[in-house]
Amino acid sequence: MSTGTSIGPELRIAVANFRPGGIETGRAVRWDQAVRWDKTVGALREWRPHLVLCQEISATVPGGLRTQLWTTANTLGMIPLLGQPAPAPVPVTGTYPAILVAASEGLVILDAWPPSGPPGTGTQPAWCEALVQIPGWKYPLRAYSVDLRSRSSVEQRSQTDHLAGRIAGLAELAVAGGNWNSYSRADAITPAALDVAPLHLRPARMCYSPQDRMLTPNYEVHDVLASIGMDDVAAVLPPGQREPDDLTPAGTGDGGRADRIYLTRDLAGTAARYARQDIGDPITRP
């Protein structure tokens, strides 16, 4: 986003899904995990973001979680804010959302909110958040790092309802990014892509018509965010300000962008550039 402040011509926000990998303690790290972490952190160091919205910070041995979090933050010269474990059945220590803040660039953390659940519901939130003052900005920015479950449209909708209600109720400048595990209205979803998608993704991402036995995309998550004035930033930018130019799939092979960034509408108009880099999963040793 263009800012025109003392931090430079742009406020750079990145979303990074670590898809458990990278740093462990107490045993050797898997080679593919280490390579994935190196690629992810290498890309972030090149981009020099002011905020990083992280998903799936994790470990499979005691102590590994904090080690991964702090090693990642220290390598990038940032301050880490860890959320609570994602509300899903996950191995051993779980996966966590987190936010990294470049305090050395003048950003000031005003508040961090990894709550026990949205007020009055008892529901474990699928996000964490931080309120950050940006140099030169009149109002602070609240950043949300989101990681919705991949196998339940009901849970996705419930979490998004609570998140959207909070964003709307606070009425702040906001960015919400992460792994939505769902589709945007701007995604080019074809019937052929839906037919070949993994079966375990269908309950959350698709609707089924028994009359004609057709699968159609489920846009509920996107529509809830749009209803409170949140824009899919990649979709509102013209092709010349996107890299790649087309809205190519991110995080899935079914034509959709599971990983997206949304901005409150007053901020979406200031967005200057969007870039996506596929880290990929190493499959062979050097």
Q: Which single residue is written with the structure tokens 């892509």?
A: 193
Choose between 262 and 256: higher pLDDT: 262
- Residues 51-57 have a mean pLDDT of 94
Q: Which two tokens stand for residue 39?
A: 């690629």
| Distance from C-alpha of 116 to C-alpha of 46, rounded to nearest angstrom | 35
Q: Please tell me the predicted confidence (pLDDT) of residue 14.
A: 96
Q: Please tell me the predicted confidence (pLDDT) of residue 88.
A: 59
88 CB burial (10 A radius; 0-12, 13-18, 19+) = middle
Cα separations in angstroms, 267 against 14, 135, 262, 271: 16, 16, 10, 7
Over 60: is that where the pLDDT of 286 sits? no
Confidence of residue 232 (pLDDT cuts 50, 70, 90): very high
| Distance from C-alpha of 128 to C-alpha of 50, rounded to nearest angstrom | 17
- Residues 116-131 have a mean pLDDT of 73
Q: Please tell me the predicted confidence (pLDDT) of residue 20.
A: 58
Question: Do 264 and 173 meet the contact criterion of CB atoms below 8 Å apart?
Answer: yes
* Mean pLDDT, the chain, integer: 83
Confidence of residue 252 (pLDDT cuts 50, 70, 90): low
pLDDT digits (tens, 9 = 90+) for 156-203: 999 999 999 999 999 999 999 999 999 999 988 888 888 888 888 888
Q: Which single residue is written with the structure tokens 């952190």?
A: 41
Length of the chain: 286
Confidence of residue 213 (pLDDT cuts 50, 70, 90): confident
Over 80: is that where the pLDDT of 221 sits? yes
**Can you spell out the DSSP letters for the chain?**
-EEEETTEEE--EEEEE--S-S--SSSPPPHHHHHHHHHHHHHHHHH--SEEEEEEEE-SSTTHHHHHHHHHHHHHT-EEEE-PPPSS--STT-EEEEEEE-GGGT-EEEEEE--SSSTTT-PPPSEEEEEEEPTT-SS-EEEEEEE--SS-HHHHHHHHHHHHHHHHHHT-EEEEEEE--S--TTS---HHHHHHS-GGGHHHHEEEETTTTEEEE--HHHHHHHHTTEEEHHHHS-GGGEESSS---BS-SSS-BSEEEEEEHHHHTT---EE--------S--
Q: What percent of the chain has pLDDT over 90?
A: 52
Over 70: is that where the pLDDT of 228 sits? yes
Confidence of residue 230 (pLDDT cuts 50, 70, 90): very high
